Each structure stands twice: as structure tokens, then as C-alpha cells.
Amino acid sequence: MYSFVNDYSESVHPNILKAISDTNFVQCPGYGTDDHCKTAADYIRKIVGVPDADVHFISGGTQTNLLASAAFLRAADGIICAQTGHPNEWESGALEVTGHKLLLEPTVDGKLTVENLQHAYDINSTVFTPNPGMVYISNITELGTVYSREDLEKLSEFCHSHGMLFYIDGARIGSALACSNLTFEDYGRLCDAFYIGGTKNGALMGEAMVIVNDDLKPNFRRILRQRGAMLAKGRILGIQFEELFRDGLFMELAHHANDAMTIIREGIENLGYDLLTESRSNQLFPIFSDEILKKIDTKYQYTYHHKTNDGRNCIRLVTCWATYFEQCHAFVDDLTRWTEEVKNNK
């Protein structure tokens, strides 16, 4: 069986593992104050084009989102989020545990629009509702779609003209950058805070929170510590991001993940299968009949998404920095053969 379930089934890129091993017996101060964390933070400040950005290394994505909610918002603030957004469907209510209600908006493809923001803002404009204090998006979205530069510019303008913070979950930011017109600098100029995901792009674990808005910087480390997200051995995170950003490894791995999915996507499209969304990222949501899915089950692992209205099956396929192109070609070859077999049996 070969797994297309997620982009963190493999452990860590060999370069990172070697860097951790090579520095294993070098003594470092704790809690992210070591030279590796400082160097990695400088690399990130440079690539996002914000020399005075605060950069914090955090162990996981849910913890990073939780910290954004806990640290950036006032007591009565809510968070505008797509109904399919990660905090709503995958984080066990972590953001709401901090006391901030998710203000959910239905979307066509997982992407919030200015119209969504206006609607959420309007219906939460009285003293009887949470104040829309922050907009949360992930790029890429939970449906594999990608916000373009123009999309982010529109959302950013609306947020800042309506007194709301703009926060971006970057668990798969590498994939988004590798298949769009976005740059790291765009994130640095358009949002108040965002994070760079390492867990899903070659790191053993870890995310880098980048805080651009000066008003959000004070006491973040205290809240980071209070919420149990500060590692004593912070050097482990710093070394990883140091390696990812020293010579462009981060984007090299992101391009590999997207290129692997391109093989699968083009094969599926050429065979005439439908897709839930138009995606050029490392996530794909194809739709198959029961007969085809039973055959896929014999050789490949995936995530089942939902049953369509016409009785077919939408699944999620994910590729990563370590996905073998040969396995992607094998999947397409198998799907081609199975498609012909099903057709001939009808």
C-alpha cells in the first residue's frame, strides 16, 4: 500500500536530520534563545521583507492558531472563518476554548471573499454578538484551493478598513507559494501575522509564527509559555528552520510536492474524472464511482471526504516533499487500467 493520506507521513528531510545530529552535543541555551533560532529568524525576516518582524518557533499548527486567538484578540472578539476552515473542522474547538467564537461563513471552494467578510461583519454588528476582531484564512485552504495575490490584497484592504486583524494559517504556505503569483513578501505586507509551516514541508515538527503588526508583539512570548507551546529545547525547531531557509530548501520541497500532484491531477483529468475544486496545490479532491474506489482501496491509502449527491465518492489525495514521482505515475497507470476494466464490465 502507498499512502496519499497526508503530507507528514514521512518523518523529516535528511538534511535536517543530519543538522540535528551534527549539533547534538553542542550545548545551547533553552526556550528559543539559542543562535540557531536567532539565525533562522533572521533568514525569515529577510525573505518576508520585514526586518523588524517578530518570529517565534512553535511546535505545532493547532498550538500556533490557538496562540493567535489567545494573544491577539480582546475578550468580546470573534473570528471570521470559512465553514470548511481548519479551526472549525480539525482542531476540536481549540480557538473557541480561548473564548473567541468562530463566525462561520459558507464558501463555494473554501476561500473567503470580501462578500463573506461583509456579511459576517454586518450580522455581527450589534452588542449582542461577538465583535468581528480577526479574519482567519489558510493558504492553501482545506479544499486544496489557493488565494492569489489579488485575493489577499482584497481581503487585507477590507480587514484593515474595518478594524479587523488579518491572520493567515500557513501550514501549507509552501504549496501555495509554489503554485501561485504570491511571494513571501506579499504575506509580510498584507497580513498582521501569519505562520510558516514546517511540519508539512519537510521538518520533523514546527511552525514559525511571523508577527508583523507592532501592536501584537508585546507579551507574545509570555502567552506562548503560558499555553505550553514553548519548548525548553527550542534549538530543535531553530535548527530545522535554519536548514529549510539557508539555501532555499523550503521552496524546493514545496515545488516537489506540487509537481508530484501535477502528475496525478493530469492523469485524473485526462481520464475524464470530476474534481471537487480546481486545485494546483499538493491536495486534490477527485470524485470516483464505488467500482473505481474499491479498486483504489487495494493498493492506495487516501482520506475519504464525502458522498456526493449522485452517489459517487469524493476523496482527498495529498503529496509531499518525499512523494516518489514513480508512485504517482503508478497510480495513474493503475487508474487507467481500472477505468478500462470497469468500462468493459458494463
Confidence band for 345, pLDDT divided at 50, 70 and 90 = confident
User: Residues 121-155: pLDDT tens digits?
Assistant: 999 999 999 999 999 999 999 999 999 999 999 99
C-alpha to C-alpha distance for 254 and 174, rounded to whole angstroms: 5
The string of DSSP codes covering 111-140 is ---HHHHHHHHHHT-STTS-EEEEEEEESS
C-alpha to C-alpha distance for 91 and 216, rounded to whole angstroms: 23
Q: Is the confidence at residue 85, as pLDDT, over 80?
A: yes
Per-residue confidence (pLDDT) for residue 161, from 0 to 100 = 98
Q: Is the confidence at residue 346, as pLDDT, over 80?
A: no
Confidence band for 62, pLDDT divided at 50, 70 and 90 = very high
User: Residues 191-209: pLDDT tens digits?
Assistant: 999 999 999 999 999 999 9
User: Residues 23-58: pLDDT tens digits?
Assistant: 999 999 999 999 999 999 999 999 999 999 999 999
C-alpha to C-alpha distance for 188 and 186, rounded to whole angstroms: 5
Q: How many alpha carbons fall within 13 Å on the CB side of residue 257? A: 33
What integer best gives the mean pLDDT of the chain? 97
C-alpha to C-alpha distance for 307 and 288, rounded to whole angstroms: 10
Q: How many residues does the chain have?
A: 346
Q: Is 158 buried (19+), middle (13-18) or exposed (0-12) by CB count in 10 A?
A: buried
Cell output for 261: 500532484
Helix axis angle, 235-246 relative to 249-270, nearest 10°? 70
